[in-house]
Copies of this chain bind each other. A is one copy, B any other.
């Protein structure tokens, strides 16, 4: 699925506000700049954040080269003052779609970077959605054992999730994100203007992850989303910046406390994801967008929590209604527990064959729960179709 198919641009009133959130990771801390109407200054921001940059390796999703990739490259070349040195820009396009998160594209990228005389001082800049961010991030982690990189996410999903936190990687046949690295960017640059060219369905799917942050950590934000879902759907830049900033702050806090998913804290970000990954794998990648699968997966997780007596019906209804308002799917008719369970057992969160779920105890709070009876899991999946 092409993450940035050009559709009719939404009218986004120009605004030049910029806010900054920091991911607190000691000497690997980095800022996320969130702006509207400043796409022509992205090159300047990169030069400011990485003084002395002399070679930029720009890896772009083919669907965002025109206009965002071109504009970024231009601003890297032009955006220097008299005492800056020139930046050499190498650029490459990656085919849109999940199939680019492959060892073949990784190999192609590595060999191309070598031909472009990249070295340890080169800076990789990823321009695209989660596919390009994950692939290019892993390339940055691996080239000469690691070079600096910058994320310029162009989908809502990448802005609020995949571009922040340092998870990079590619897929193996039948297993998502199985090969990769924790490698933090030096900088994340979000400008809501780039969402103006984003396909409607893909834009909406990003709201799935936004709602997730409300459920797992922030009841106040959840309530704000209930009130402002319409503004988000209309791509109002002020509403978007608030939603993106709050989401990034939540993710930054969690990542700062558990960068490598070692304490269990970071696992809360996977609310709905164990189900979602199994849905995506059994439906065939591409049938559902990731954010859509997450929406369905959050419903399954919430029902599982309800059946365990740890979550109440009223909260489930609130989640269901908010997802509906965001025009996200809340069930999946073809969900097949018999196929999904084995996939869940291959999830990276499994340790020693034991499955864990992130389940809500109330809006704004989730817990990591293990040792759950398979029957309850099957029932939570099955109700998805029954509730239609």
Residue of B nearest to A181 (CB): B145
Q: How far is the CB of A178 from chain B (nearest CB, A)?
A: 6
Check B351–A179 contact: CB distance below 8 A. no
Q: Assuming A107-B103, A172-B114, A173-B111, is B145 touching A352 (CB within 8 A)?
A: no
Residues of B within 8 A of A117 (CB): 346
* A92 contacts partner chain B, Cβ-Cβ < 8 Å: no
* A74 contacts partner chain B, Cβ-Cβ < 8 Å: no
Residue of B nearest to A349 (CB): B120
Residues of B within 8 A of A376 (CB): none
Of the candidate stretches A43-51, A136-144, A195-203, A328-336, the one touching chain B is A136-144
Chain A contact residue count (CB 8 A cutoff): 36
Check B120–A172 contact: CB distance below 8 A. no
Check B111–A180 contact: CB distance below 8 A. no
Per the bound structure, the CA–CA distance linking A173 and B120 in Å amounts to 18
* A350 contacts partner chain B, Cβ-Cβ < 8 Å: yes
Check A120–B351 contact: CB distance below 8 A. yes
Q: How far is the CB of A69 from chain B (nearest CB, A)?
A: 25
Q: Assuming A172-B114, A260-B146, is B348 touching A119 (CB within 8 A)?
A: yes
Q: Using an 8 Å CB-CB cutoff, how does the interface string of A171-186 with B read, 1 for contact, 0 for none?
A: 0111101111110000
Residues of B within 8 A of A143 (CB): 178-179
* A167 contacts partner chain B, Cβ-Cβ < 8 Å: yes
Residue of B nearest to A141 (CB): B181
Check B142–A180 contact: CB distance below 8 A. yes
Check A144–B178 contact: CB distance below 8 A. yes
Residues of B within 8 A of A54 (CB): 352
How many protomers of this protein does the assembly include? 2
Per the bound structure, the CA–CA distance linking A169 and B143 in Å amounts to 10
Residues of B within 8 A of A173 (CB): 111
Q: How far is the CB of A265 from chain B (nearest CB, A)?
A: 16
* A110 contacts partner chain B, Cβ-Cβ < 8 Å: yes
Check A142–B110 contact: CB distance below 8 A. no
* A121 contacts partner chain B, Cβ-Cβ < 8 Å: yes
Check B119–A178 contact: CB distance below 8 A. no
Check B110–A178 contact: CB distance below 8 A. yes
Per the bound structure, the CA–CA distance linking A145 and B183 in Å amounts to 9
List residues 133-165 of chain A with CB under 8 A from any CB of chain B: 141-146
Check A146–B182 contact: CB distance below 8 A. yes
Residues of B within 8 A of A174 (CB): 114
Q: How far is the CB of A113 from chain B (nearest CB, A)?
A: 9
Residues of B within 8 A of A111 (CB): 172-173
Residues of B within 8 A of A178 (CB): 110, 114, 143-144
Chain A to chain B: the 7 pairs with minimum beta-carbon distance, closest first: A121-B351, A145-B180, A103-B107, A144-B348, A142-B179, A110-B179, A114-B172
